[in-house]
Structure 1
Amino acid sequence: MQQSLNKRINKLIIGIVVLTTLVLVLFVWKSTSEQAAARLKNDLDVARNVLTLVLENRTKQLANSVTVLTDDYGFKRAVGTGDKLTIDSVLSNHGKRVNADLTALISLDALTITSVPELIKAQSPFIYPEFIDAAVSEGNSSSILSINNKLYQVLLSSIKAPRPIAVALMGFEIDRLLADQLKKITQLDTTLIVYIEGNESYRISTLKPEQYTQNIQIENTDALYLPLLAFSADSKLISTRFTFLDKEGLKIDIMLSNEVKVVFADFISLQTSLAWIALLAILIAVLLGALFSRKLVKPIHSLTNHAEKISVGIYDEKIDVDWHSSELSTLSHAFDTMQESIQDRERKVVYQAQHDVLTTLYNRNHAETLLDKKFENKDTFQAIGINIFGFRGVNDTFGYHNGDLCLQELARRVTSLGGLSARLTGGELLWVPDKILTEEELKVIKTQIDGDVLSGDLSIPMTVAMGVINCPSETHSPSELFRRMNIVIDEAQITRQFILHFSAGLEEKYTRRLSIITELKKELSNTKGELALFYQPKLNLVHKKVTAVEALIRWNNAELGFVSPEDFIAVAEHAGFIGEITAWVYHQAIQDIQSFRAQGIDVTVAINISAQDVMNAELLPTILSLLNAYDLPPSVLSFEMTEGHLVKNLSEAVQQLTIMRDAGFKIAIDDFGTGYSSLSYLSQLPADILKIDKSFVLKLDEQVSDQNIVQSVVLLAHQFGMEIVAEGVENQNSLELLDDYGCEWAQGYHICRPIDAASFVKWFKEYKY
């Protein structure tokens, strides 16, 4: 059954007033009890502080007096001679000066020599020997002691002549006078309850004994129950207590008490006032509710209609009502503001749902929606994936902030080309131009996108790889497009083909590459013996004997068969786990070196390392530690690295290679002549050896141009103080030419193919130059 708004408002207001009154009563009730507890807690803190201050002042007074006593020469002599009369006289005089209640002399073995007054029997054991030890070791010791059912604050001090010969004790009694002092300050009755060995022994209190039973412990009483005690006819006391001292079998609790009616004196009058206020508030609420409910009905209907329009997405209409109050007018304006805010927020939400935060390009989800429409309309278009070449290296070298800056600049350059652009993954963008581009146009656009990115004084080189897919001939859905885009971009990065078109063969190659990654990770994490090291000897043409070998990794996988190092090494570098392969290589090489040495073969093993390995600060310490574990010198290893890899981060590479060289390892530049060879570049590298690429050596005996190149490189290397290794020696004539040119080392099939460790040992023992 529906009721009028007037009745509902009246009921609501009355209900609210009644509920508010009840809540207020409960709040006051709760606050009153909490206030009582808080007041007692505050008094507790005051009492604690007062007692502590009094005791501290007494301790200082005792300390001064005992110092005068123990420094008294006559007293020391009397103690030394055992003159009891003199001792008692001195103790009595010094005690009277400070109104001490107890003075005593105690031997070092805790026997009471004398006390004034005679509260402690002479020649009786002192019941707190630990304080005697503390006074002897530390000079002074202060505490509170219970002696003959009385509390004393005492200070013990050792008597030195010059070594400790006895301990003097002086103390004040803690009595009813101290309790009265606390009551004067806190206006609370104070009780000191003394426990000896866990049993209550006696009390010092401002209360009468019959009042003990009237005490109600606030800690043991429900806080909400406390105000009810104010209505009790009996004179009750409310109290709280705390432990002041608890050590050496002595425990002292302090209890503070006050009359309940004093604590809750204002409670009853406050409750009565609240009752009258509540009744008056109900009457006023009924009158005001009836008045205002009538004026609210029409505006509420208008607001309701307007809210319904907003709910269905109608944001253009304004509320046009003659409001009777500024509040309703404000509410009307609030509806209009809410309408505009919702409309603006919807636009922002839609934008954020469709765009990437960093680059402001479309995100992957919205790009998929737009591409879906193109595929549904059977549009012919070109999808181009764009990735910063070596983006991981940019982040590692220049920091993630600069990596993000490169992405933002790349997005800006791509956006300026027009068409549809989106960010698919971390460093990969998608661009759909407005027209199909030719190969020449793609090259021009790549040059526009490439270029350094400036970050403050820093210039970050940026080169992009582009993967091109024609739609719908090469793909038929966004998901397939994204997958194939990933394939072609991945291939472009690995093969350094900066503009690469999709083909079916790439998908097969990508699948094999994924299989290589999976199987290689399995082998590295759980070695099954599929990886092996082969060694290719290096003939020293100066000494006419083999003194070095190059370690070459081989992999025969149960699923993939023989996998070429060129394949899986490139994949490992791109996937970021080349360091694990390098670690396996130097572990195995060091084990083989130890085996070679045990069989009388002393050779240096050259290990190929990548740019990632060189930049790895942990590589050198790990290898040195491993060599030390096998008791091998650094000279048993050398490192080879392709020059093209070094030039990307030349300054850092030079720094790291210098550290490795200083540690005792020889450094060789592999495949020299095929990369970035230049005199300035060569002069910066801390290298000991240049390896001439085999492309110049394979037909050295036939090609005059190769002979000229090799002779020039040999002369150049010698000018820089480097040795030469010629790889790819296939016949005796080439070997003799190299010897004539002054080349120090030769390596190739004519000398020996790469062979496993066991075969190398046999070959080495049989080989004669």
Structure 2
Amino acid sequence: MPLERNAIGRFRFPLPAGLEKFLQSVRRIGERSLVSRLLALLMLGAVAVYLIVNIGLWWTASNLIDDNLEKQAVRWLSELDELGTPLYASQGGRHVSNIDKRIKHFPEIAFIRYYDASGRKILGEYGDRRGVEIPLLKPDQIRELSGTGGTERDYLVDRSILSGAYLRFIAPIRVRSIRSDGLLGFSLENEKPENVKVIGYIDLSIDSGYYKEQLVRSIASGSLIIAALMAVGLFFGSRIIRKALAPLTALQVPLARLAQGETDVHVERAKDAEIAVISDALNTTIRALRDRDETLRKMAESDPLTGLVNRSLFRRELEAEIEHASHDAVPSAVFFIDLDQFKYVNDTLGHAAGDKLLIRVAELLKSRVRDKDVVSRFGGDEFTVLARNVSREGAMELARSFNQIMRDMRLVEGDKILSVNCSIGIAMIEPGRHGAEEILAHADMACFEAKSHGRNRMHLYEEGGEGRKEMAMDIGWFQHIKQIIEQDRFRLMYQPIADVIHPDKESYEVLLRMPGPNGEIVLPSIFLPVAQRFGLMTDIDRWVIVHALKALADFRASGRDVIFSINLSGQSLEDASILQLIKDHLTQNRVPPNRVIFEITEQSAMRYLDKARNLIQGLVDIGCRFALDDFGTGFSSFSYLKQLPVDFIKIDGSFVKNMAQNSMDETMVLSIIQIARSLGKETVAEFVPDEKTIAMLKASGVDHLQGFYIGAPSEKLPVNLRVVPKTNKNAS
């Protein structure tokens, strides 16, 4: 029997369909509705009342019957006392034949016995015992009766026969005589002129079952009437309950839709005040959820600074337009707009001025397009425009108008007037020719071509000549990179980073290599620019994060306390989910966050400063550390150190590799080290070429060394590194 995987990933044996249905019905037993629960409570209450009433009636009636029979028995005992006197006078029974006649009129009388004075001899017995064995009087009963003389209750009651079905009344027969004195035979002067003497006993048994049978019949008929009335009450009660709870039951449908994620739901307001409150609360909640979803949608699809659509939504719009163009055979155009010298504005006037400039550019671009066109902030200082149903000539005219409004724009910031130019690349969307990534790559290449001919220019991508060959090559690399990602065939390599003070510490930068179409190893400088143009950098970063953290966990499990430095691209800074991915895989692999350092280049940090700051802070908050790579290449590198919570500064290798021959490079390296130390940050010197450079770096106070001379990248962690002996740093 094949195994199935359940919701939490464990295997289970599939059950037969009949058994599965039975188990589902068992599970549903506890899922009763409120209506059925109330009906069940109503029915239980009715049954309880029914039982209590019947038990009460039976108990009350039984007690009344016993009390009445006891009172009647007292009267019968008195009468039987009188009827039985001749029996004791004659000791033969000729004078008491009328007793049988009397008791025939009373079916409840089971039998009557007369005993002599000793209580052991039966003088007479009357009635039908109905097969019941009646014991003789017991000595203790006779003794107890002898003490009842003169009391209010001059008899005993025995309920032991047939568990109380027979009530046995035993009473003494007493005679009184006046004491004799002289000729008259009695004396009136004596204080006790009478003598009381027990001459026998009357044993009267009454069968209460006769009356109780009548009582059972009466209760049974009454119970049936009560049950019928209760059934009628239950029927109308259930109707009333269902009607009263109908507004509450009606909430099930909108709640079920809401639970499935639908927010296009409205709950009708009930007339009952209590349920109306619930309906109003649900409608308020639904509106809040709808507003939240709309806000989240806008956040996910728009740029928070300019309000334009973001890269993700623009790609979807572009794909839809390509599909539309293939059906209607109407060309459209994509514009890739890059602001010239925008980084200079950021560096000289600050990010607030840069943000104002970006907002103004967004407003101008929106003002030049139609409502059906799409304007996007693609990233940093890059914008894209999708112009629908436009010819080549129309696209060129629109691009010229973009150039013109940029030239004419002036933005006052304090005592300075800002202006900016732009380079524009144009790619036509022709039916059935290219996909979204290819068209964006065409526009990007055309923009690069425009920049190569000077600023504030535009260029229309043409498929032909060298451009066509270059694009065909890029598309080939693009398809190969996608295949490598899908097939999980990238390879990780590790380059050591030596600690000057603690050479025994193991730290490595994780590098990426790609197998080429013919099995050769392709360096990142070949495939990463293509991945950047075709929007694959985030996918590559995700692959590296997942596999590097897994490898780090494996090395640590083998006993090596290793630190990894992992590179992130600028595109990943715009991916809001990258932080959660890192958190998840740190937890999954049980890797201490402080054993991971993430690196971004200085250029990426400056281009995406706000997003870089947020990502770095998020990683620092969970315990990871951060390094700023290729430091020193920007216009105002040092100003960024105060704005980014980085732990390491990696000095650009172009300064390090020539510092032994170039005093300017040496001064630059020394300045970076001194400023980094003053800010409490560690430095890493890249591209270390020889022992002389190592000595100079140590003398300058550098913290870490990296380069092929220290150790070349390898797929296995090296055991021995080329490092200088342990020494103290000199801050000269």
User: What range describes the TM-score normalised by the shorter chain of this pair?
Assistant: 0.3 to 0.5
Greater Cα radius of gyration, structure 1 or 2: 2
TM-score, length basis structure 1: 0.44
TM-score, length basis structure 2: 0.46
